[in-house]
Amino acid sequence: MNQKIKSVLIIGIQGALAKITAELLIKKHPQIKIHGVDSRPITDIAIRPQLTHHQIKYTRTNFEKIFREHHFDTILHLGRLGHSPAIGNINKRIDINLIGTNSILELAQKFHASKVVILSTHHVYGAHPDNPMFIKEDAPLRGSFKYAELRDVVEMDQMCTNWMWKNQNEIETIVLRPCNIIGPQIKNSITQYLRSPYAPIPIDFNPMFQFIHEFDMASIIVEAADKLKTGIYNVAADDVISLSEAAEIIAVKKLRIPIVLVEQLAKFVTPAWKFPHYLISYLKFSATLDNSEIKKNLGEDIFRFNAKEAIELLKYR
């Protein structure tokens, strides 16, 4: 256990994953002080004496005020803005994902935090026909080659990893690239896709997927803050499952059509499907992760739920 974890800043506290992470941190470190911030209104959050929170605009001035007041030793950056069509504005995403993140990293260093954990995504690798069966952390980040909407995600990851290696002797920095995070409380694109009867299953492609339950992902974030050393870590369990199998487990009737129709229909009915265009590539090609690095550092038994169990639990919400 890392005895240095006393004061934690969680960025993106309104997200379900961040709330679960806060609860696990409190359970593991009862004397901890957690301050959560989010650019969104903060609702439905448990009242805990160890946890304070408030809504802010993600500006350097606001962040610097928070850093001066609280002197955090650990920063959990879980506030990357996603790419749901409902979010829309690319300028807003760039402002939060790039400009905001850069300010957070600089302030963490300026105010002598000991560790920063950054939540990235496996989408930075992209879904391509020539992907290896299991993608390693040193693979090129090709997520934005076809879909410009992923540019800010790829650039954020690259910015964080470059900063990480540049400052590795001063501050421990962890970049986590998880597979598809799903769960009853999560409202991300892949969870909505699995639950939606409007979401299509291509009849001419059946790619392999990896899924991680929200509780397991939160547990790994806590373990990362405690145990992991500076580096990039893919986060995925050993098991993989085909898209068709996932659809059968969730037992929600899907549209089964050729991928060419999926691509055409996506232009017109995205608001009903509620998932971004780049996910179409993942309906065609696999983007599964090599997990050897995180298992080497955290052990073989770090996942409570396998993929099938995680999907099953989506039925209960």
Average pLDDT over all residues of the chain: 90
Q: Give the Cα separation of 182 and 179 in Å (integer).
A: 9
Whether the Cβ atoms of residue 58 and residue 39 lie closer than 8 Å to each other: yes
Q: What percent of the chain has pLDDT over 70?
A: 90
Whether the Cβ atoms of residue 149 and residue 278 lie closer than 8 Å to each other: yes
Whether the Cβ atoms of residue 106 and residue 163 lie closer than 8 Å to each other: no
pLDDT for the residue 85: 45
Q: Give the Cα separation of 58 and 171 in Å (integer).
A: 22
- The domains of the chain are located at 7-187+210-239+288-304
Q: State the residue for tokens 């899907």.
A: 254
Residue 251: exposure state from Cβ atoms within 10 A (0-12, 13-18, ≥19):
exposed
Q: Give the Cα separation of 153 and 131 in Å (integer).
A: 19
Tokens of 214: 């929200």
Q: Give the Cα separation of 73 and 287 in Å (integer).
A: 34
For residue 207, what are the contacts with CB-CB under 8 A and spacing of at least 6? 127, 242, 243, 282, 283, 284, 285, 286
Q: Is residue 233 classed as helix, strand or coil in its secondary structure?
A: strand
Q: Give the Cα separation of 40 and 257 in Å (integer).
A: 37
Between helix 101-110 and helix 151-166 the angle, nearest 10°, is 20
264-301 pLDDT, tens per residue? Answer: 877 766 555 566 888 899 999 999 999 999 999 999 89
Within 13 Å, how many C-alpha atoms sit on residue 66's CB side?
A: 30
Q: Give the Cα separation of 110 and 229 in Å (integer).
A: 20
136-176 pLDDT, tens per residue? Answer: 999 999 998 888 778 888 999 999 999 999 999 999 999 99
Q: State the residue for tokens 């639990």.
A: 313
Whether the Cβ atoms of residue 6 and residue 31 lie closer than 8 Å to each other: yes
Say if pTM beats, i.e. exceeds, 0.85: yes
Give bridge partners of residue 242 from the DSSP assignment.
Answer: 208
68-115 pLDDT, tens per residue? Answer: 999 999 999 998 655 444 444 555 555 666 678 899 999 999 999 999
Tokens of 258: 């050729």
15-29 pLDDT, tens per residue? Answer: 999 999 999 999 999
For residue 147, what are the contacts with CB-CB under 8 A and spacing of at least 6? 277, 278, 281
Bridge-based pairing of strands 208-209 and 241-242 is antiparallel
CATH superfamily entry for domain 7-187+210-239+288-304: NAD(P)-binding Rossmann-like Domain (3.40.50.720)
Classify residue 178 by its DSSP letter.
E
